[in-house]
Amino acid sequence: MLSILLAVGLFQASGPLQEPAYQPTWESLNGHDTPQWFKDAKFGIFIHWGVYSVPAFCDTSTYSEWYQYWCDSGAHDGLERSFHARNYGEDFQYRDFAPLFKAEMWDPEEWADILQRSGARYMVLTSKHHDGFCLWPNQEASLARGYPWNSVETGPGRDLVGELLEACKAKGVRPGLYYSFMEWHNPLYENDKARYVDEVMIPQIQELFQKYQPQVFWPDGEWDHPDNLWKSREILAWIYNHAEDPELLAVNDRWGKGLRGQVGDYSTTEYGSLGNSSGKGMRAMRPFEECRGIGHSFAFNRAENYDIYASRTRCVRELIDLVSKGGALLLDIGPTADGRIPVIMQDRLFAIGRWLEINGEAIYGTTRSPFQKAPAWGRVTAKDSVLYCHVQEWPLDERLEISGLRSKIRSARVLGGRKDSLPVTGGPGAWAVELAGEYPLEHATVIRLELEEIPEVTTSKS
Ligand code: GLC
């Protein structure tokens, strides 16, 4: 097996050859445990930033990071294509946007501060999206295309990956990198995918890990080809065998056509759907992460108006809903080409952060609701012998009914509330918490129930 890794240049034989911990088989690779920090984190920030942030335009139903593809394909009745011709001219090529991607107002420390204030525990930056432009000084990107195609040789003139990940680590936000397997307009990708994988993809991924040691690795753009073509198993074995601390590393499930939900450390969904996935393994009880923008796009889309952006309450309740189902939220922001996070996106992140300052214990480190069905008044999360009732519909009679809980409630109180404890009435299967004297907080009010034991619920479907 080692010969395969040597063949693809993944291993440089140095020192005594010993059996690596991980072999390039899904059986071996799936033996890697999802790190506990990732299971506990529950909330990350996705950042889609690149050359596509210059036009920052597409039909408001979809993703503006696909601008090049929408223009090439004449999608949306030619909306993007005619926008391009009108504003830049038909002879202006997508690659001509790169020098305009200046990031002249970019302050990585400011971004890291915003991410930290949001309450996010990790971040994932697009190191290279489907357009192949690298946000770090990668040579393979420029060599494969025959023109400067990274953020040091053109545009910002800076190592955006290096600076931002350093700033985030300093703020205690764990660093993550998105990386697209597929590329548009790369002659090597178009003419010889095997050479593209060996001469571009593998060296780029190795360089990302050797230079930046991300703790989250977020492959994407895998859906057209099987893992064999991408050499995914060899790459992931190399990553796990060479990571500074493989136990800290979390990778997603996007490693080859039809594999989502079955491989990697966690499953991914996107805007509530399985995306390009067969979804075959998505029912497995393992951590999952839902990613979505605050509007309809991952990268900044100047065509999106105020009404498209999710409200502060919608963002908070999205996080609560996902965590109550055993998942995490990777909420995306799309910065501008000059390096700013749009203020409406900052507003949503700060609203989540303020809510988490009071209610974080009901999110971080919790497990999915023990109930089969969500109660009418909201959602439930759990942590050992504590239940957190996230009340979104405040009961008019100021009485919170908790049906289906057999365990005895020892005490109850509102997180951030006025009173140290609230009266509990009823009995097993039909408890109630008297909320008189308390009042609903913005977005959701958490009632913390200390139980006599790990929650025991009735399994009836009712
Ligand atoms: C899809 C899109 C890509 C986006 C990703 C995020 O793969 O192609 O634009 O970055 O979803 O989940």
122-178 pLDDT, tens per residue? 999 999 999 999 999 999 999 999 999 999 999 999 999 999 999 999 999 999 999
CB 67 less than 6 A from any atom of ligand 1:
no
The predicted structure's pLDDT at residue 286: 87
Phi, psi of 188 (to 5 degrees): -70, -40
Site to probe by mutation for ligand 1, drawn from 254, 298, 332, 333 as the one with most ligand atoms within 8 Å of Cβ, is 298
The predicted structure's pLDDT at residue 92: 98
CB 270 less than 6 A from any atom of ligand 1:
yes
295-306 pLDDT, tens per residue? 999 999 999 999
Residue 426's CATH number:
2.60.40.1180
- SS3 (DSSP) at 412: strand
Q: Read off the pLDDT band of 1 (50, 70, 90).
A: very low
Answer yes or no: do 281 and 407 share one domain: no
- Distance from the alpha carbon of residue 188 to the mean position of ligand 1, in angstroms: 22
Write the single-letter amino acid at 427: G
Contacts 24+ apart (CB under 8 A), 89-97: 94/51, 94/67, 94/68, 94/131, 94/185, 95/145, 95/147, 95/149, 95/185, 97/51, 97/52, 97/54, 97/55
The predicted structure's pLDDT at residue 275: 63
Answer yes or no: do 240 and 356 share one domain: yes
Inter-residue contact 198 to 8 (CB < 8 Å)? yes
How many structural domains is the chain composed of? 2
CB 330 less than 6 A from any atom of ligand 1:
no
CB 41 less than 6 A from any atom of ligand 1:
no
- Distance from the alpha carbon of residue 158 to the mean position of ligand 1, in angstroms: 24
DSSP label at residue 181: S
7-33 pLDDT, tens per residue? 344 544 444 567 899 999 999 999 999
Q: Read off the pLDDT band of 460 (50, 70, 90).
A: low
Q: Residue 106 domain-assigned?
A: yes
CB 59 less than 6 A from any atom of ligand 1:
no
Q: DSSP readout, 254-281?
A: -SSTT-TTTSSSSEEEETTB-TT---TT
DSSP label at residue 335: -
- Distance from the alpha carbon of residue 403 to the mean position of ligand 1, in angstroms: 40
Q: Cα-Cα-Cα-Cα dihedral of 80, 82, 84, 88, to 10°?
A: -170
234 to 111, 209, 267: CA distances (angstroms):
34, 15, 20
Average pLDDT over residues 365-394: 97
What sign has the CA pseudo-torsion 456, 460, 461, 462? negative
Those residues whose C-beta lies under 8 Å from the C-beta of residue 159, and which sit 6 or more positions away, are 135, 136, 137, 151, 152
Tell whether the model's pLDDT for residue 110 goes beyond 70: yes
Tell whether the model's pLDDT for residue 2 goes beyond 60: no
Answer yes or no: do 167 and 84 share one domain: yes
CB 181 less than 6 A from any atom of ligand 1:
no
In the numeric block, the tokens 């660093």 are attached to: 175
The predicted structure's pLDDT at residue 244: 87
Which atom of ligand 1 is least distant from the CA of 126?
10
Identify the domain containing residue 334 by its residue range. 22-362
Average pLDDT over residues 335-363: 98
Answer yes or no: do 288 and 350 share one domain: yes
Tell whether the model's pLDDT for residue 459 goes beyond 80: no
The Cα–Cα gap between 38 and 29 comes to 17
The predicted structure's pLDDT at residue 462: 44
What value, to the nearest 5°, has the Cα angle with vertex 437 and ends 436 and 438? 90
CB 65 less than 6 A from any atom of ligand 1:
yes
Q: Read off the pLDDT band of 85 (50, 70, 90).
A: very high
Answer yes or no: do 401 and 290 share one domain: no
Q: Residue 462 domain-assigned?
A: no
Residue 41's CATH number:
3.20.20.80
CB 291 less than 6 A from any atom of ligand 1:
yes
The predicted structure's pLDDT at residue 277: 63
Answer yes or no: do 427 and 349 share one domain: no
Which atom of ligand 1 is least distant from the CA of 46?
6
- SS3 (DSSP) at 12: coil
The Cα–Cα gap between 438 and 218 comes to 43
Q: Residue 86 domain-assigned?
A: yes
The Cα–Cα gap between 80 and 58 comes to 6
